[in-house]
Amino acid sequence: MGSYLNISKYIEQSYLKPDGTFKKIEELCNEAVKYNFYGICINPFFVKFAKDLLKDTDIKVITVVGFPLGANKLKTKLIEASSAVNDGADELDIVWNLGAFKSGNFSYVEEELKTIIYYTQNVTHKIIVETHYLNEEEKIKGVEIVKNSGAEFIKTSTGFAPTGANLDDIKLFKKFAEGVLKIKAAGGIKDYNTALKMIKAGADRIGTSSGVKIVNEGV
């Protein structure tokens, strides 16, 4: 753990800023090939373009659904998710409905996720719970909902909240996931030591825009 190749294959190199261009996405794909990243995480508009660029590689194309607030209605999320899969996305990072969750409408949140997953089978699903806005009890409840939804991963953050991944949350998710869920740590991971600590705490993937820096620091 922590070697050049290992740390690379944990990384989902991300570019989710609003000023992305085709040139920037092409650069991101080239970086992913050069550094052997697990995948790239990009906005839905660029999925088809990136998939074509990476068609002769094993690098995964990951995109987001309901990003970054999660407050879209289910029908909108379904169209977005289905369109992304049709464009070639291998994995979907879905922002759950945080407002519904904070309102105590847990059944709606769970059913929304189940529905999206049902209609986008054969891809990997990660549920973004935005830990910054959750207390410990809510985080534990969140793990339960994500487990019940059928998703493969729980993800800490969009990167748009004031804070992102921290070690305590990774450890808590690891404990209550009970081996059913994998964990994607994202939000504020900008150096090798932080990424390595996240992995040692239980993270299975690292979402970051600093993948090149992380890998170079680990050589």
The pLDDT confidence band at residue 3, using thresholds 50, 70 and 90, is: very low
Q: Is residue 4 pLDDT above 60, yes or no?
A: no
Question: Which three-class secondary structure state does DSSP give residue 12?
Answer: strand
The angle at the Cα of 124, spanning 86 to 129, to the nearest 5 degrees, equals 110
Report pLDDT for 11: 98
195-215 pLDDT, tens digit per residue, is 999 999 999 999 999 999 999
Q: Give CA torsion, residues 87, 157, 13, 59, to 10 deg.
A: -50
The pLDDT score that the predictor gives to residue 137 is: 98
> From CA 74, how far away is CA 80, in angstroms rounded?
10
Grouping H, G, I as helix, E, B as strand and the rest as coil, residue 41 is strand
pLDDT one-digit tens code per residue, 74-108: 999 999 999 999 999 999 999 999 999 999 999 99
CATH superfamily of 4-218: Aldolase class I (3.20.20.70)
- Beta strands at 153-155 and 182-186: parallel, antiparallel or unpaired: parallel
Closest by CA to 17, choosing from 163, 209, 154, is 209
Catalytic residues: 93, 155, 184
Report which secondary-structure segment, H or E, holds 213. Answer: helix 211-218
Distance CA 194, CA 213 (A): 12
- Whether residue 1 is predicted with pLDDT greater than 60 in this model: the reply is no
Residues 6+ apart with CB under 8 A from 96: 66, 70, 109, 112, 113, 127, 128, 129, 142, 145, 146
